[in-house]
A and B are shown apart, each in its own frame.
Chain A
Amino acid sequence: MREMLLVGRGGEGVVIASQILADTFARAGFCVQSFPEFKAERRGAPISAFLRWDTQPIHRRFKLRQCDVLVDVSASPPSPQLLATVRPGGLVVLNRETRFAHAGAFEIARVPGARIAQRNGIVSSEGRPMGNMAVLGASVKLLAPGALAFLEEAIRARMGAHGPANATAAREGYAACTRQRARPGDEAVEAMAEAKPVARRAMFAVSTTSSLHTNTGAWSLDRPVLLDACNDCALCALFCPEGAMTRTDGEMSIDYLYCKGCGICEVVCPVKGAIAMEAVPA
């Protein structure tokens, strides 16, 4: 049995990618099991999904804490903690243009998923390129190279009218996937010992601090900026799920401590050119 962890952000198609890959492996004759880690996820929040596949029936039913394959759909670099979940001899697949200067007891491969998505017009409602299909193509090339036709079938079955473009992106991801060789100077990543869940004992489930201290703004990859055309109508404030848009003394402002960069404000804004999305500065 092999176990895969797929990670990304809410809205990047991580869960759909895991289901399509499960369908692909099933069409290729494997027994499969795929499921999302389900928290209070929303667009922009960190998200993960799991996939198991085997030639034998799979009986275990619990979440993964370690994996043989880590697939990162998002364009941001995976954290050392995430890389440490990969078992020795495993594989890491990244949605990335450039080399990732880390090395561990695993192989690293990358695919320019965002570029491929942009080229095929596969973008989110906020206009962000969806790298998930190219990453699927890359994963199939690395794990089951004979299964590309099954992947395309699975994509068409799932994506309806968007099937052809998504299947093309997957095919291009398959072709554009490159394996990375370790170089001197790569940052070393240590494998994590099998972590044991820790149960805390407390009489009351009461937090010690206010949730105001949870800076959800740290989740965002992109963020909105208000431009001169903004007429301070505050329509965005009605739709903002975080209450991060406010009008004080007749003037709009954005609280980046809580803004998750979902882009809803940009979509609902009735004024052309009043809100733009930009990458969060490093």
Chain B
Amino acid sequence: MSATLPHGRIVATGNEAAAYGAMLARVRAIGCYPITPQTLIVERLADLVAGREDVEYANLESEHSMFGYVIAAARAGVRTFTATSSQGLLYAHEQLHRASRERVPLVVVNVNRAVFAPWSIEPDLTDSMSQRDTGWVQLYCSTAQEVLDSVLCAYRIAETALLPVMVCEEGFLLSHTSETLDVPDQERVDAFIPELAPPAEWVLDPNVPRTFSALPEANDYYAFQRNVAEALDDARTIIARVAAEFTAHFGRAKVGALELNGSPGASRALVAIGAVAETARELLDDDDDLLLVRVHAYRPFPFDELAAALSGASHVTVVDRAAAFGSYGPLGCDVRALGVPATNVVAGLGGAEVTPDTLRRVLDRRDEKVVYA
């Protein structure tokens, strides 16, 4: 017999929040392969779908197959879910390119974990940030509540933009952290997420045999790539609109692209993502001249919103919790692409501690080159 989906105010982990979000979105096909620190998501889902015949729960032999499975299931016209982490995401890399280029509206939770070598199961964002060019929408969370809410929004974004969405949460710091979580009622979620209505021309139908993604002429190939670029650009508007609708529908604020805290007119700005950005909020207790910018929607990158947020700051510091060897950190690259000469510090790799003291020291730095602190 299946476990019951909780509702109302409970204490739960980020991984439980992810599983509950997927169930509330009424997913019909779940692809599974275990990896720490993700495994608790598919374990919780197994409890919730046990004995149910309206949900297919498939144990696959690898993450590569798992992404192939959810792509094919989505192609059959059903809503899917899967989750992975680190090496699993990297192993599925070529499927990520395929999912966006085939315009498959997947929702995937990636539990951020450092990348081999040496081995680490601790959090950093290198796994998903190194996938930033694969054409996926990427949403980075800083609380368990935001994981659940983002999974719900992700289905709306994915199915409107016809692009895959990756919801990211840091291992342990979110995935295994128990905190207060409001789980909405099923009826309320049903009113927010309509039934999946995939484009008829790509739903697999054994009675209508066709070829998918076969070898086109070069110019046609190019046009398909341009389509993806434009769809991802357009997703900015969709992300903002879905967040606004979520806020109105559930009565709980949902961040769109950016979350701003602190003084809007401050001379110093700190740009960060995820747990680091959440920890940074403690700096505001005794710092009146600081603007905190937390990037939630990292792809498509919110250039216009960020430029507006940083317009008053004379010194900008960007903290990346991801390595991108040979250039600035991923977030540092994007902020510098705005023409902002930000100091870019890479911190917290492999779960290395980032405390308010770490961030105070970082804010005092003035560097042209990327700094591995």
Interface residues of A (CB under 8 A from B): 18-19, 22-23, 26, 31-36, 38, 58-63, 197, 199, 205
Contact = CB atoms under 8 A, between A and B. Distances in A.
A197 B180 contact: no
B2 to A, nearest CB: 15
Interface of B: 9-11, 13, 36-37, 117-118, 121, 142, 170, 172-174, 176-180, 275-276, 278-282, 352-356
Contact of B11 (A26, A59, A62): A26
A59 B11 CA distance: 16
Contact of B278 (A26, A31, A36, A61): A61
Contacts of A60: 278-279, 282, 355-356
B4 to A, nearest CB: 12
Contact of A205 (B9, B118, B174): B118
Given A36-B176, A59-B281, A22 B11 contact: yes
Contacts of A34: 11, 177-179
Contacts of B121: 38
22 contacts: A19-B178, A22-B11, A22-B179, A23-B10, A23-B178, A26-B9, A31-B179, A32-B178, A32-B179, A32-B180, A34-B11, A35-B172, A36-B176, A59-B280, A59-B282, A60-B282, A60-B355, A61-B170, A61-B173, A62-B354, A197-B353, A205-B118
Nearest to B356: A60
Given A19-B178, A59-B279, A61-B142, 7 more contacts: A23-B11, A26-B11, A35-B173, A58-B179, A61-B177, A61-B278, A62-B353
A216 to B, nearest CB: 18
Q: Which 6 A/B pairs are nearest by Cβ-Cβ distance?
A: A205-B118, A61-B275, A35-B177, A59-B281, A23-B11, A34-B178
A28 to B, nearest CB: 12
A197 B275 CA distance: 19
A26 B174 CA distance: 17
A199 B353 CA distance: 11
Contacts of B142: 61
B358 to A, nearest CB: 9
Contacts of B174: 61
B281 A33 contact: no
A113 B205 CA distance: 62
Contacts of A22: 11, 178-179
A197 B37 CA distance: 23
Nearest to B276: A61
Contact of B176 (A38, A59, A197): A38
B352 A197 contact: yes
A199 B142 CA distance: 26
Nearest to A1: B282
Contacts of B278: 59-61
Between A26, A32, A61, the greatest number of chain B beta carbons within 10 A of the residue's beta carbon is seen for A61
Contacts of B117: 205
Contacts of A205: 117-118
Nearest to B123: A61
